[in-house]
Chains A and B, each alone.
Chain A
């Protein structure tokens, strides 16, 4: 079952603009992670935000978490062509086993 759902499914912006993608989930979580996948390759971890954190930064990435709304957003500032990729959120439910559940992803295209 899908825990995280990203929105939008696809996003195209001009290079230099900011890109925002959202993730909604269904159950209480311990943490939420964002990953990037370049076409057909393995996923690469970008950032992890814990349930007691509201915002986290890493370079040009800014992640927010609103546990009351069960949602997170990933902001990429000053986008570059190299940011073209699919972005996935992954959640770790606060109950049960050590299991990370991935969403279906947002396909981001940066237009040079």
Chain B
């Protein structure tokens, strides 16, 4: 089954404790992206990757890191999480960035 998986689905953590949210897709997509969704603000892109070892900033990259060492995986790293990063996070993939995007189920992160 074609899918995008994210782990964990729910995470409660404390300020400053490094965390990684994993994302994996099995569709051989070149393009992968991370979004955060906040009430009233819609989806905002954090980082995207057009291929292995190619990543670039989206609209709200501050406080986040990503890496793309393999085509299927695109982890999101929060080196020192802060409460303003409490949000619902989505990973997505597609053949190219402007085509249909396939979304993961989301990760709800709470930073206290």
What residue in chain A is nearest B104 (Cβ atoms)?
Answer: A42
Asked whether, in the complex, the Cβ of A45 is within 8 Å of the Cβ of B48, the reply is: no
> Distance (Å) between the CB of B61 and the closest chain A CB?
13
Asked whether, in the complex, the Cβ of B45 is within 8 Å of the Cβ of A101, the reply is: yes
> Distance (Å) between the CB of B54 and the closest chain A CB?
11
Q: Does B62 contact A (CB under 8 A)?
A: no
Chain A interface extent, by class:
20 to 34
The number of residues on chain B lying at the interface, defined by a beta carbon within 8 Å of a beta carbon of chain A, is: 30
What residue in chain A is nearest B59 (Cβ atoms)?
Answer: A1
A100, A103, A104: residue with the most chain B Cβ atoms closer than 10 Å: A100
What residue in chain B is nearest A48 (Cβ atoms)?
Answer: B100
How long is the Cα–Cα vector from A55 to B70 in the complex, in angstroms? 39
Q: Does A72 contact B (CB under 8 A)?
A: no
Binding site for A on B (CB under 8 A): 4, 31, 33, 35, 40-45, 48, 50, 56, 58-59, 88, 90, 92, 96-106, 108
Q: Does A59 contact B (CB under 8 A)?
A: no
Asked whether, in the complex, the Cβ of B104 is within 8 Å of the Cβ of A45, the reply is: no
Binding site for B on A (CB under 8 A): 1-2, 30-31, 33, 35, 40-45, 48, 88, 90, 92, 97-105
How long is the Cα–Cα vector from A101 to B45 in the complex, in angstroms? 8
Asked whether, in the complex, the Cβ of A42 is within 8 Å of the Cβ of B98, the reply is: no
Would you list the 10 A-B pairs with minimal beta carbon distance, nearest first?
Answer: A98-B97, A42-B103, A92-B98, A104-B42, A102-B43, A45-B100, A43-B103, A42-B105, A102-B42, A98-B98
Asked whether, in the complex, the Cβ of A44 is within 8 Å of the Cβ of B40, the reply is: no
Set of chain A residues within 8 Å of B41, measured between Cβ atoms: 104
Say whether, besides A40-B88, A43-B103, A99 and B42 are in contact (CB < 8 Å). Answer: no
Set of chain A residues within 8 Å of B101, measured between Cβ atoms: 33, 35, 43, 45, 90, 100
**A2-B42, A90-B101 given; 20 more Cβ-contact pairs under 8 Å:** A31-B98, A40-B106, A42-B104, A43-B43, A43-B90, A43-B103, A45-B102, A48-B99, A88-B43, A92-B97, A98-B31, A98-B48, A98-B97, A99-B45, A99-B48, A100-B33, A100-B45, A101-B59, A102-B42, A104-B42
